Amino acid sequence: MSTAAPPDIRVEVLLDSGQGSLAEAVRAGLLGERRELPPRCLYDERGSELFDRITELPEYYPARAERAILNRHAPAIVTGMGAQELLELGSGVASKTRALLYAMAGAGTLRRYVPFDVDLSVIRRSAEELTALYPGLVVRGVVGDFGRHLGDLPPPAGPRLVAFLGGTVGNLDSRARAEILRALRKLLREDDRLLLGADLVKDERVIVAAYDDAQGVTAEFTRNALCVLNRELGADFDLDAFEPFARWNPDESRVELGLTARSAQRVTIEGLDSTWVELAAGEEIRTEVSSKFTPQRLEHELNEAGFELERLLRDEQELFSVALAGPAGARPEDNGGGEASAGGPA
């Protein structure tokens, strides 16, 4: 009697498992001119669970709109380029890319999935689920920071589709965004493609509501960053002493999220050599930004990084976009189908 082969799952941990890299990032952020926390503070196991809840909230349109785009266009995207490998940056539990994996499996080209995330536990969980769903799928997970570890990814197993979804590119400031896009361009060979999820500029009331939900899940997600600091670096932040905020910055076309100190306080962080941070009442700690794009701005930033925009796919309400881009000069006759490029209606 034959038995099924065990799942082929390997996960490489590139992120410092100790306090070192987190401590230095926190030191630079909290003691800098503008107080802010690195994204790593948001996405521990609890943070990842909370974010998954956020994506299902009625106010949070980005996840629904992106999912609708991918459900509609995934088959054309993967068959148009013959994708055999899916590399997902900020993979979480792989909820954003299920349509792509399904389409690749349906086309008979799915060979390997490379989830890239800061959280080892979610990579392992998604790897086990996907190898059970797709027998024979090879998973090569990477625990790392895509600002530092893109050059350490495993060589591609065939035409590679790099998915950077969820609007995560908007969480980077303009300089970091340009650096990441250039690094991604270096990864791509002629037959590889980038699939980039980017939120679009729209009525600011719709945007802000997505980050200030009625159930308070996003507020809990933001406060969780302080839980991470208390646990990992021995800080003594009082969670009740901070009020989460989410506001629109029209000059930068972005939402800014963070925490406001409700009163003057001193916080000690043992993991930073018992450094203390003095906070005035009303002082803010920024935890995240989420930039929104016009189609023209998105195409310009891709071009500056050495990409050529092949398709800009949008949902029916034009709330969100998914850009399909390849190395400049490598554009096929047709890939992804159905929607105008950024040169079309904004």
Write out pLDDT tens, residues 19-71.
Answer: 457 888 899 999 888 999 998 899 888 998 899 899 999 999 999 999 999 99
Could you tell me which residue, 145 or 161, shows the higher pLDDT? 161
**DSSP letter assigned to residue 202:** -
State pLDDT tens for residues 312-325. 999 999 999 999 99
Residue 240 lies in a domain: no
pLDDT at position 343, please? 42
Distance CA 296, CA 86 (A): 27
Instruction: Give the model's confidence band at 146: pLDDT under 50 very low, under 70 low, under 90 confident, else very high.
Output: confident
Residue 296 lies in a domain: yes
- Examine the pLDDT at 333 and tell me if it is beyond 70: no
pLDDT at position 39, please? 86
Full domain range(s) for residue 197: 54-203+292-327
Residue 66 lies in a domain: yes
Distance CA 66, CA 55 (A): 11
- Examine the pLDDT at 345 and tell me if it is beyond 50: no
- Examine the pLDDT at 171 and tell me if it is beyond 50: yes
Residue 70 lies in a domain: yes
pLDDT at position 346, please? 32
Distance CA 90, CA 165 (A): 8
pLDDT at position 344, please? 36
Neighbours of 68 (CB within 10 A): 19
pLDDT at position 342, please? 47
Residue 62 lies in a domain: yes
Percent of the chain past pLDDT 90, that is, above it, reads 79
Q: How many domains does the chain have?
A: 1
Mean pLDDT for all residues in the chain: 91
Contact at 8 Å (CB) between 44 and 119? yes
Q: Which of 160, 161, 80, 107 is nearest to 333 (CA)?
A: 80
Could you tell me which residue, 243 or 341, shows the higher pLDDT? 243
3-state secondary structure of 112: strand
pLDDT at position 145, please? 86
Distance CA 192, CA 306 (A): 13
What is the pTM for the complete model shown?
Answer: 0.89
Cβ-count burial of 3 within 10 angstroms (0-12 exposed, 13-18 middle, 19+ buried)?
Answer: exposed
pLDDT at position 32, please? 84
Distance CA 249, CA 208 (A): 10
pLDDT at position 17, please? 57
User: For the residues 135-161, what does the mean pLDDT come to?
Assistant: 92
pLDDT at position 161, please? 98
pLDDT at position 118, please? 85
Neighbours of 13 (CB within 10 A): 12
Percent of the chain past pLDDT 70, that is, above it, reads 92
Neighbours of 196 (CB within 10 A): 27
Give me the CATH number covering residue 81: 3.40.50.150
User: For the residues 227-253, what does the mean pLDDT come to?
Assistant: 97
pLDDT at position 168, please? 94
Residue 34 lies in a domain: no
pLDDT at position 290, please? 98
- Examine the pLDDT at 330 and tell me if it is beyond 70: no
Residue 72 lies in a domain: yes
User: For the residues 338-344, what does the mean pLDDT come to?
Assistant: 45
Residue 262 lies in a domain: no
User: For the residues 221-227, what does the mean pLDDT come to?
Assistant: 98
- Examine the pLDDT at 111 and tell me if it is beyond 80: yes
pLDDT at position 340, please? 44
Could you tell me which residue, 339 or 6, shows the higher pLDDT? 6
Q: What angle do CA 318, 322, 326 make, to 5 degrees?
A: 140
- How is residue 155 written in tokens? 């060589």
3-state secondary structure of 24: helix
